[in-house]
Structure formats: C-alpha cells, structure tokens
Amino acid sequence: MKAVERRLVRWLPRRVLVLLVAVALAQAVLVVVQADALARAVAGLDARLLPVVAAAVAGRAVLAWAGSGVAGRAAAGVKARLREAVLARAGAPGAAGGGSAGGSGGGRVTLLTRGLDAVDPFFAGYVPQLVAACVVPPVVLAGLVAADWASAVVVAVTVPLVPVFGALVGLRTAEWTGRQWELLRRLGGHFRDVVAGLATLRAFGRTGHQSAVVRRLADEHRRATVGALRVAFLSSLVVELVCALSVALVAVPVGLRLLDGRMELAAGLLVLLLAPEVYAPLRALGSRFHASAEGVAVAGEVFAVLDSPAAPTGGGRVVAAEGPPEIVLEDVTVRYPGADRPALEKVSLRVAPGERVAVTGPSGAGKSTLLLVLAGLVTPESGRVLVDGVELGELDMAAWRARLGWVPQRPHLFAASVADNIRLGAPDAGDERVRQAARAAAAEEFIEELPDGYATVLGDGGAGLSAGQRQRLAIARAYATDAPVMLLDEPTARLDVRSERLLVDAARRLLEGRSAVVVAHRPALLSVADRVVRLVDGRLVPGDGTGARPSGSFDESPGGRCGGGVAA
C-alpha cells in the first residue's frame, strides 16, 4: 500500500476494520462449509446435505450485504470529515492566494464536490476487498490442506503470482489516473474562471477562443480517461489469465488422479471447488483497485491541502476583547502569487480605537489588498498585523471576523430575500433589527418600493439593483452585525449625486462610534474619516494624508465635495 492509501485507511474508525475482518472470516468459513457440503452431496448423491449448502449461500449473501453496508456508511463518514477538514482550510485562505484569488478556487471546488466522491470506491469497494484478500485465502487454503495437501502446495505457490502481476500493471494505471485527475482539475479551474468572466469575454468577442480552450482540455481529459480504462482492462486480463492457469495446474492432476482411482470423488470435487475460491478475492482486488485509483489520487490532493502551511486560522486561541481595538500594521508586505511587484510594500499604519481612517490612492495601489489583510483573507509575506497587541495569526479568526463589518467594493448579494441578505452576518437579527439597519443605510426607501418589500427575492448577484443600492444593502448588512470595526471599500462605479449623498450619509451612520478603515475614491466620503492616508504603488506616501482633514489635493477628482468622482 502506498503512503496515501495508508493515510486514507487511518481515517476509518478502528471498529469498522474489526467488523470487516470479522465479516471476511465468517465468509471464508462459509466458503469451506459450502464447498464441503456440496462436494459430499454430489459424491454421495445425498440430498440431505443440500439445505446446508443453501444456508451457506444465504449466509454469504447476508454477510456481503452487511459488509458493504458497514463500508458504505464508513465511506460517507470519512468523506464528511475530509470535507470539513478541507473547508476549514478553505475558510481562511492563506498565503497561497487570498479570498479573491481565482486560480486555486475552481480546483478547490472540484475537490470538495465531485472530487471527494471519488473516494467512495476506495472505502466501499477496495478496503473491504483488501481485508477479504488478506483473510479469506489463508482460511480456504487451510481447508484445502485438509482435503488434499498436494493441491494445496500448488495453490500456495501460484497464489503470490496474482498480486505480483497485478502490481506490475497497476503501477502504470496509477500514473494514468494521476494524469486524468490533474486534467479534470485544470478543466474545473479554467471553466470557473471562464464562467466568472463571461460578460467580459463576450464584450471583447473572445468567447470563441475560450470555448476552443475548454474543448481542448475536455478532449485531453477524455483521452486520459480512455487511456486509464485501457490499462485497467489489460490488467484484469493479465490477472484472469494467471488465475485460470493456476486453477488448471490444480485441476489437471486432480482429474488424472480421479481417473486412476487414486483419489476419492468427494475429495477431488472439494479441491476443484475450493481452489478458485483462494484466487477469487485477489482477482476481485485488482478491479477494485482500479476503481479506487481516482479516489486515491484525489485523496493525495486533499492531504496536500491539509498539509499546506496553516492559514491564520492556525491554533488561534486568543479571543480579542469587546469594543473597538487598536489595530497596528508593521512593515506589512503582500505579494500575490506570480506578481513581480508586491501589492503592498512595508506598510505601517496605526488605527487607534474608534478612529476612522480613510485610504486614498490610484487604482491598483493596494487599497483593497489592505482591507483583505485586515480581514485575515490575505496573509502578508512579511511584517505584522497586531490587534490590541496580539498578532493576527494568533487570533481566533472566527472571533476576529465576528468583530468585523465588511463592505466590499462589489458586494455579493445572494439570490435570497432582501431581509435575508441584510441578516447574512447576523442570522438571529429580527425584522425590527433588519429595518433599523436598512434605515441607517438609507436603503429603506428603495426596499419599500420593491414588489414584495423586504421579502423580495433578489436576482442572482443582486440583479435589478443599481450599484448604489447594492452598496447600501451591503452597508445595512454590516450595520446589522453591530461589529466594532468596519472595513469599507467604496464602489468605484460612478454614482449620481443623490446616490452618492445617500451613500455618504449611510456610511457616516455606519461608522458612528466604531473603528474603521475606509477606502475612498471620492472626496465626499473622506468627510466621514478622522484621518486620510494615501497609498501609491503599494506604499504609504508620507506627507499627504497624515493631516487631520481632507484637503482639495485629491488627484482623481480635484474640486469640492460635490464633484463627481472618477472611477479608480
């Protein structure tokens, strides 16, 4: 067994293995009883033994049913626990990419859904068969020794050939299935990216190219699948051949001895009935092995995820205190995978309890990245983030996020009712609380104009709402959580003057009495902040911004507070 398989088996509860061994032992004994009764019944033309045969057959069927039931239940349990373990990792994406990075997301989704189901054949098929292959042959061989030791010797010598030939072919299969899985994963990742960017692709007339890429990947996957099947069929052919030849080696001498009268008919029949039973579990093991190979490849991926360096959920035991904390960034540097330039470079910033800091800067300066770092969704390459003096990596992430309100640039609204979208972060919030949040977010007016008010079910992604309305729903959502720290990324879309004023009013009420880091593209929003800092190319630019109030020096939109902003 390979290391991955050993590790996978360790996820099975011990009592399941004990049960499987017990079932296999009972089956082996029934095989011998059945063969013995059948041989004597035929040789002696004795019908009284037939009920024994029937009972043995029925017993084997019941045992097979019980065994697969036990294994199936165990497989479901192991899958659930593996999914939980992977999800726990996915919940706090680490240095590898952060919540917004696309690359590994599709792969992770494939892994959690279709991918993990592939371990079913491993637990429900391969493991029970492996137990049977270890337990049944020795027992049946013992029965064979009692019947005729010469035949037993032939069987004992040829039996090891089956696993040897099986393994030789199996090595190739493992290689093929690994390739097939890798292709499926790439296909999943690519497909997800394409779907996410469909609108953009259509706008630029690139859909044709993308469908060609998907077709090519699907084609490669098909070819890898057929290749794996070919090897699997070849291997069962080889194993069948070895078994057939081995049984023949036993059968021919038995036949000759029966002709010579050197052997009793009952004994000869018993040998002929038992010999194939020694090989049977090993033969079945081969095909079960091939059926489980994909699952093993997937398990390898799962373990790679579980072994990857811990994201900041880590052993987070320290739970932060209530109320707005002091947040300090010390020389924080963030580099996205594959980027040559860091998105943030040696950024140091202190947000005092209850202070509201606005971050300005041109597009791509790293403003959103700064918020992702504070939310623990992106892990800095170097530097420290301290919350009340405790490093972010040591905080209990769930508790920290519970203290954060998050208003992203493009808030995601789910295809659920308006009220449910607002209470996303506070599932226990009652209707009154939801209304209060909507009122604070200046969203009440437009919500009440919707066909079913708060019960209106939104389209996917909040279709049917304007950018400003979506943003205000996101503010209501943050408001409902009552979190002491707010992270707010102003929408870059151009808003009309009224929407902008509503948004700024809503933001002002949201930030009342809380700490906040607010990404602001327009001067209007700066008025809610106590202090403004400016990011350029991932670096905090000194001089500007450390002053108390925003001045007119604001490159995206010079002019007063009413000047419409230009999207950053």
CA distance 48 to 53: 10
Segment interacting with Mg ion (CB under 5 A) among 16-24, 266-274, 367-375, 397-405? 367-375
Nearer to ligand ADP, 162 or 365 (CB): 365
* Contacted by 366, from ligand ADP, Mg ion, none: CB < 5 to 8 Å by type: ligand ADP
Asked if 360 is part of the footprint of ligand ADP (rule: CB under 6 A), the reply reads no
453: alpha, beta or left? (left if phi > 0; alpha if psi -120 to 50): left
CA 411 to chain centre: 24
Binding residue for ligand ADP (CB under 6 A) from 235, 360, 369, 421? 369
**Which CB sits closer to ligand ADP, 410 or 501?**
410
Helix (H, G, I), strand (E, B) or coil at 527: coil
What is the Cα–Cα distance from 226 to 222, expressed in whole angstroms? 6
Binder of ligand ADP out of 27, 313, 368, 469 (CB under 6 A): 368
CA 347 – CA 361 distance, rounded (Å): 14
> Which phi and psi (to 5°) does residue 347 adopt?
-90, 125
Torsion of Cα atoms, 97 then 99 then 104 then 109, to 10°: 160
Which position among 179, 283, 367, 477 is part of the footprint of ligand ADP (CB under 6 A)? 367
295 binds, among Mg ion, ligand ADP, none (CB under 5 to 8 A by kind): none
Question: If contact means CB under 5 to 8 A according to the sort of partner, which of ligand ADP, Mg ion, none does residue 105 touch?
Answer: none
For residue 525, give the nearest of 540, 511, 546 by alpha carbon: 511
333 counts as binding ligand ADP under rule CB under 6 A:
no
Instruction: Give me the least distance between CB of 348 and ligand ADP, in Å please.
Output: 17
The nearest distance, CB 183 to ligand ADP, in angstroms, is: 24
When the beta carbons of 98 and 281 are compared against ligand ADP, the nearer one is 98
Contact between 34 and Mg ion (CB under 5 A)?
A: no
From 27, 177, 313, 368, residue interacting with Mg ion (rule: CB under 5 A): 368
Q: Considering CB under 6 A, how many residues would be counted as binding ligand ADP?
A: 14
Note whether 8 and 299 are within 8 A (CB).
Answer: yes
Q: Which residue has tokens 């899985």?
A: 181
Out of ligand ADP, Mg ion, none, what residue 339 binds, judged by CB under 5 to 8 A for its kind, is ligand ADP
Asked if residue 379 binds ligand ADP (CB under 6 A), the reply is no
Cα–Cα distance between 111 and 189 in angstroms, integer? 11
Q: How far is the CB of 311 from ligand ADP (least distance, A)?
A: 15
- Pick the piece of the chain touching Mg ion (CB under 5 A) from 84-92, 269-277, 368-376, 498-506: 368-376
CA proximity to 122, closest of 180, 182, 82, 175 = 82
Paired tokens of 409:
């640039």
Strands (E), 409-566: 485-489, 515-519, 531-536, 539-540
| Selected range binding ligand ADP among 253-261, 263-271, 360-368, 540-548, rule: CB under 6 A | 360-368
Q: Which residue is nearest to Mg ion (CB)?
A: 368
To the nearest whole angstrom, how small is the minimum distance from the Cβ of residue 98 to ligand ADP?
Answer: 6
Q: Which is nearer to Mg ion, 158 or 368 (CB)?
A: 368
Q: Does 363 bind ligand ADP (CB under 6 A)?
A: yes
Contact 418, 476 (CB under 8 A): no
Q: Note the maximum CA span of the chain.
A: 115
Binding of ligand ADP by 343 (CB under 6 A):
yes
* Both structure tokens of 529: 């902040």
Q: Which residue number, 282 or 478, has a Cβ lying nearer to Mg ion?
A: 478
Query: Rule CB under 6 A: is residue 336 a binding residue for ligand ADP?
Result: yes
- Nearer of residues 97 and 107 to Mg ion, judged by Cβ: 97
Residue 100, binding choice from ligand ADP, Mg ion, none, Cβ under 5 to 8 Å by partner class: ligand ADP
Q: Kindly tell me which of 105 and 276 has the beta carbon lying closer to ligand ADP.
A: 105
Nearest approach, Cβ of residue 536 and ligand ADP (Å): 10
Looking at residues 82 to 111 of the shown chain, list those that interact with ligand ADP (rule: CB under 6 A).
98, 100-101
34, 53 contact by CB (below 8 A): yes
Q: Where are the alpha helices (DSSP H) in 375-457?
A: 397-402, 418-422, 431-440, 444-449
Dist CA 394 CA 285 (whole Å)? 47
Q: Which residues contact 259 (CB under 8 A, 6 or more apart)?
A: none
| H runs (alpha helix) in 148-160 | 149-158
Closest to ligand ADP by CB, 176 vs 336, is 336
Residue 276 binding target from Mg ion, ligand ADP, none, CB below 5 to 8 Å by type: none
On whether the CB atoms of residues 359 and 518 are closer than 8 A, the answer is yes
Minimum Å gap between C-beta 540 and ligand ADP is 12
Strand ordering across the sheet containing 327-334: 344-351, 327-334, 382-387, 390-391
Segment lying near ligand ADP (by CB under 6 A), choices 27-35, 285-293, 359-367, 509-517: 359-367
| Tokens describing residue 95 | 């240095």
> Applying CB under 6 A, which residues contact ligand ADP?
98, 100-101, 336, 339, 343, 361, 363-369
> Applying CB under 5 A, which residues contact Mg ion?
368
